[in-house]
A and B are shown apart, each in its own frame.
Chain A
Amino acid sequence: MSDTNTGPVSETAMITVNGLSKTFRTGVGRATVAALDDVSLVVEAGSCLAVVGESGSGKTTLARIIVGLESADSGTVAVSGRVVAHRASRRELRRRASEIQMVFQDPQSSLNRRLPVQTAVDEVLRVHTSLGRDARRLRCSELFALVGLSDEHLRALPEELSGGQRQRVAIARALAADPSVIILDESVAALDVTVQGQILALLDELRTAKGLTYLFITHDLSVVQLIADQVVVMRRGKIVERGATADVLGRPRHPYTQLLLACAPRPGWKPQRGVIRALREEITS
């Protein structure tokens, strides 16, 4: 059930991805694997689109191409209606970074463990704003307050903060560039469930307050339910289903979406070998 229809061309699209394909070579042999196969989607301004899939679905490759960390073999990415180049120049990357920021699963990757966490935020302010030193210090403090941290956290080293606090720093860092879009790549996956809820609530507040657009990469359907308006389901580089969150989660049409839902732990749920096997057979048939 291949679905390449992105719906009517939207005036309010923040991100438009059209026919994106990407092939990776595996190892030294000639074998190639399609990480993305003709993927098209639209993220409306101010909305949150969740991209759901398991490992190998291509969801992270999609995110990396949109921010410019990776180039596609074919297809286009447009941000605010402007098509961005395949192989981006430094200048283009900087421009894109002021529009799109990314928050990763592990904030350690964007924080230097030897430096106070405010340096990570300050660095972004230095690159993306013309603020002087004192103004940047003030802005750091404002950004920390915005994500629920206090001034005493500014000078802390990453290891002195909890996982949730570090992820708040990563969000402050993303906000420092004043982007219109934040790509969240499994940004709450490594957190304890009670902390997860707090970070999702924070992200939701920020989206409303600042009119942000989110592309949320996740494997967790509970996270989708909590934060996304729209969802696309990916499997082996292809989008197999898309729609409003309540429709896709409540009335899934593709057997792969049904399989994901049949396997998602929730109150009263039991894993059933028979159901899983039957759905897997339906997918491959």
Chain B
Amino acid sequence: MMLDIRSLSLSIAVDGGPKEILHDVTLAVGRGEAVGLVGESGSGKSMTLRSVLRTEPRNATVTGAIALDGVDVLSLKGEPLRQLRAHQIAMIAQNPHAVLNPVLPISRYLVEGMHDAQGLSVAAARLRAGELLEQVGIDGVDRVLASYPHQLSGGMLQRVVIAGAIAGKPSLILADEPTTALDVTTQAEVMAILDDCRRELGMALLFVTHDLDLAAAVCDRINVMKDGVVVETGVPDQLRDHPAHPYTQQLMDSRPASIMWSPSDGSGE
């Protein structure tokens, strides 16, 4: 497996002793595979993701192993860790404003990223930025490149972040609730774009979300997390039809059996 997380436990020092956030988490992501990490608030899904990038809190104690392409991530620091973050893993977070500098135009974000990380000339990077924006379904590329973050909608910004993430052709994309702040129609569009780009470029995806149906739509396998523990792993159909853990069943039951129209039903007339 490309990403191998084994018996990962993480605790944080709080008043009155350590508080365990993750307990014995084991999960894997194969090359080009999309894996979901589904859970509710406080389940530890985001902390698992942060551990892979080594951005867990400073006062956290981590045990277990995380390997990316055989490299022990937990022992990395300094330049090798920076290299890993720049070339092998890209992160897409919930809030694009946290990533994009508000006083710089979009072009600077994309061009500087590629200039620094890949050593492209500024002219070549500018050309490539345009191509990437087209790839994430943006019309009027020049206007968007010249815009500042506050001039664009959340859905547009998240597409820019996706463009930046795929620019370096990383082998793994980490996505932490990337569409949670978006309207439903924008969410569907951004998810479809992320899914398409990832498949075309053969990148793996570790997708953190609270929405089991959303994870099932784009993932090959899903891990269900609760209280810092992976309670069940399976392919989406299997989880839906034969959930083994009562918590998975509970998640399933909290959504209604759908009576909703879908595009394949015809024109709706």
Contacts and interface: CB of A to CB of B under 8 A. Distances in A.
Given A194-B250, A197-B254, A251-B261, A267 B213 contact: yes
B185 interface: yes
23 contacts: A54-B185, A163-B41, A193-B211, A194-B251, A219-B184, A221-B184, A222-B258, A246-B259, A251-B261, A251-B268, A253-B269, A258-B263, A260-B185, A261-B262, A265-B213, A266-B258, A267-B216, A267-B240, A272-B192, A272-B263, A273-B196, A275-B263, A276-B185
Nearest to A192: B40
Interface in A214-229: 219-222, 225-226
A219 B182 CA distance: 11
Contact of B255 (A193, A195, A275): A193
A225 B260 contact: yes
A193 B210 contact: yes
Contact of B184 (A196, A263, A270, A279): A263
A193 B248 CA distance: 12
A29 interface: no
Interface residues of B, number: 39
Interface residues of A, number: 40
B51 to A, nearest CB: 22
Interface in B190-241: 191-193, 195-196, 210-214, 216-218, 240
Contact of A194 (B195, B216, B254): B254
Nearest to B184: A263
Given A251-B261, A271-B191, A260 B255 contact: no
A132 to B, nearest CB: 41
Contacts of B212: 193
Contact of B188 (A220, A258, A271): A271
B187 interface: yes
Interface string A228-270: 0000000000000000001001111100001111111111111
A249 B189 contact: no
Lowest 9 CB-CB distances: which A-B pairs, in order?
Answer: A263-B188, A265-B213, A192-B40, A197-B254, A271-B192, A271-B188, A54-B183, A266-B258, A265-B214
Contacts of A262: 188, 262-263
A271 to B, nearest CB: 4
B267 to A, nearest CB: 9
Interface in A131-146: none
Interface string A190-205: 0011111100000000
A266 B263 CA distance: 13
A57 to B, nearest CB: 9
Contacts of B210: 192-193
Contacts of A192: 40-41, 210
A76 to B, nearest CB: 30
Contact of A196 (B214, B254, B258, B263): B254
Nearest to A53: B183
B256 A222 contact: yes
Given A192-B41, A250-B259, 14 more contacts: A54-B185, A55-B183, A193-B210, A193-B255, A194-B251, A197-B253, A221-B260, A249-B261, A251-B268, A258-B261, A261-B262, A263-B189, A265-B211, A273-B192
B105 interface: no
B207 to A, nearest CB: 13
A276 B261 contact: no
A196 B269 CA distance: 33
Contacts of A279: 263
B254 A265 contact: no
Nearest to A193: B254
Nearest to B239: A267
Contacts of B262: 261-262, 269
Contacts of A260: 184-185
Contacts of A54: 183-186
Contact of A258 (B189, B258, B268): B268
Contacts of A259: 185
Nearest to B214: A265
Interface centre among A55, A266, A272, by most B CB within 10 Å?
A266
Nearest to B241: A267
B15 to A, nearest CB: 15
Contacts of A219: 183-184
Contact of B258 (A263, A267, A272): A267
